[in-house]
Chains A and B, each alone.
Chain A
Amino acid sequence: MKKTIITVVGKDTVGIIARVCTYLADNQVNILDISQTIVQGYFNMMMIVDTGLVQSFGRLSEELLELGKEIGVVIKCQHEEIFESMHRI
């Protein structure tokens, strides 16, 4: 298990979750948790996923960024530890 946080931020449109989730399913990434909200037309989603089966984290990260550009949102992909270390003692 390798927990990774994926954040998706941008203007709301049809099918954001569907496209991100399809990509993840195709790439052996299991989704553990999703939380999502829309503030003034802006879509803000955080996913906790397991990237333990992913061969190249770099490729995953780049492809998600590309997918984000297609949809018109910013998708970031970061290992969980950076948030754990900053916000938990």
Chain B
Amino acid sequence: MINRYEVNETNQMIEQDNLDVRTITLGISLMDCIDGDLEKLNRQIYQKVTTVARDLVSTGREIELEYGIPIVNKRISVTPIAIVGEAACKRPEDYVTIARTLDKAAKEVGVNFIGGYSALVSKGMTRGEEALIRSIPAALSQTERVCSSVNVGSTKCGINMDAVRLLGEIVRETAEYTKDQDSLGCAKLVVFCNAPDDNPFMAGAFHGVTEADAIINVGVSGPGVVKHALSKVRGESFEVLCETIKKTAFKVTRVGQLVAQEASKRLGIPFGILDLSLAPTPAVGDSVAEILEEIGLERTGAPGTTAALALLNDQVKKGGVMASSYVGGLSGAFIPVSEDQGMIDAVQAGALSLEKLEAMTCVCSVGLDMIAIPGDTKASTISGIIADEMAIGMVNQKTTAVRIIPVIGKGVGEMVEFGGLLGYAPIMPVNAFSCEAFVSRRGRIPAPIHSFKN
């Protein structure tokens, strides 16, 4: 029988340490909506999304109420639109109509984001995929809730440098299109290497082509809970430290598993995976950086940061894996800058640089995330940053991503406010030396030697 101590512990995690389920993401396949006629395609997409996701938000609320656990976001991911739209879309403008349809459907069912305005081009781009990529700036500036992602590399295929070059320009263009909102469009655009098919987290969620018709994926959170647990073992050995993280991650994940199973049962849609991520928010006490500091760093970015993060990431996975029947998505510690108060403070204190963040992405999920850079950063430099991050993912057989925001009209040290969960960020300096000649080369970087495990 459950005792009072356990009940109090759970409720303290929820009330004081910001334990929540970050997202229930409903993946919906749009394969059966494909049609050569654009109008019909749009109509079918709207109908399918609003039908399958009709009860998503109300079911989420029901579960929240009954278990007393906040479920912060209810979201939808769909089949990469580049595939769905290829037969009907001749020009980038045609794809934008699909973005507007998705936005309308998202508003109709009450979800705050819909992901999947995506293209998977790790080896090459079809005409349709290139058109979708070129439509991203317009799509993200004309919609509110649509999120876009492009997979430009993988361990098996190498890196498509033509797509990397194009995306440097697209990121800049998206920033220009949304400059009245501090280039907010770029916060909804992720460039991936080794993108998972079942990621529930935005902005990079899409419903992979390997997935079933509809699936429930859940992302947990809980940096505050881990930090609180670690504050009780200050000065103890690494063994105690690691055990504490594992046990805490286990408990957090179990809550996610329960919510995922309940949502799946009530919606009549199969459970896909649980994403074991430590996802921070700008709220005080909900920060991954604060965990690193609790482990023993004066500020995140100090020497030792990469090791501390590697340890944290690994223990979270070890604790979480046993707590869920299926684990997937991005699973690990997120290190976005604007969405994490401790990261913001570290940047402002001069402790954390873009280069250190890049090193940190080698040992955790996911990548350079929500980083504001000067608005006059050249497209080729952005492509260079993307290429570096993709190379880390390709060589280390892990997912990496870049979500970077060149804030038009602002320079180093100025602040930019994205609002809500997206937070705010100080603009960070970028290495000013050029990589123009490198990213101007055509073609792709071949897959690394260790990808040939045949």
Which residues of A are interface residues toward B (Cβ below 8 A)? Answer: 5, 7, 33, 35, 37, 44, 46, 48, 57-58, 61, 76-87
Contacts and interface: CB of A to CB of B under 8 A. Distances in A.
B4 A44 contact: yes
B362 interface: no
Nearest to A81: B258
Contacts of A86: 6, 10, 251, 254-255
19 contacts: A5-B2, A7-B8, A7-B11, A33-B1, A48-B1, A48-B2, A57-B65, A58-B62, A61-B66, A77-B68, A81-B67, A81-B258, A83-B7, A83-B10, A85-B254, A86-B254, A87-B2, A87-B6, A87-B9
A48 B304 CA distance: 47
A82 B67 CA distance: 6
Contacts of B50: none
Interface string B35-63: 00000000000000000000000000010
Contact of A83 (B2, B62, B66, B257): B2
Contacts of A76: 11, 68
Interface in B1-47: 1-4, 6-11
The prevalent SS among residues of B at the interface is helix
A81 B260 CA distance: 13
Shortest beta-carbon contacts, A-B, top 6: A78-B68, A82-B67, A85-B258, A87-B6, A46-B4, A85-B254
Contacts of A87: 2, 6, 9-10, 251
A69 B254 CA distance: 31
Nearest to A62: B65
A72 B4 CA distance: 21
B254 to A, nearest CB: 5
A37 to B, nearest CB: 8
A82 B6 CA distance: 11
Contact of B66 (A46, A48, A78): A78
B69 interface: yes
Contact of B255 (A44, A58, A77, A82): A82
A21 B9 CA distance: 24
A5 B65 contact: no
A76 B11 CA distance: 9
A7 B2 CA distance: 12
A46 B254 CA distance: 22
Contacts of A78: 66-68
With a 10 A CB-CB cut-off, give which of A61, A76, A80, A86 has the most chain B CB atoms.
A86
B1 A79 contact: no
A86 B256 CA distance: 10
Given A76-B11, A79-B67, A87-B6, 12 more contacts: A44-B4, A44-B8, A46-B4, A46-B7, A57-B66, A58-B65, A79-B66, A82-B69, A82-B255, A83-B6, A86-B254, A87-B10
Given A33-B1, A87-B251, A82 B65 contact: no
A35 B4 contact: yes
A7 B8 CA distance: 9
A82 B2 CA distance: 10
B101 to A, nearest CB: 33
Contacts of A37: 4
A33 B4 CA distance: 11
B434 to A, nearest CB: 53
Contacts of B10: 82-83, 86-87
A35 B6 CA distance: 13
Contacts of B255: 82, 85-86
Contacts of A57: 65-66
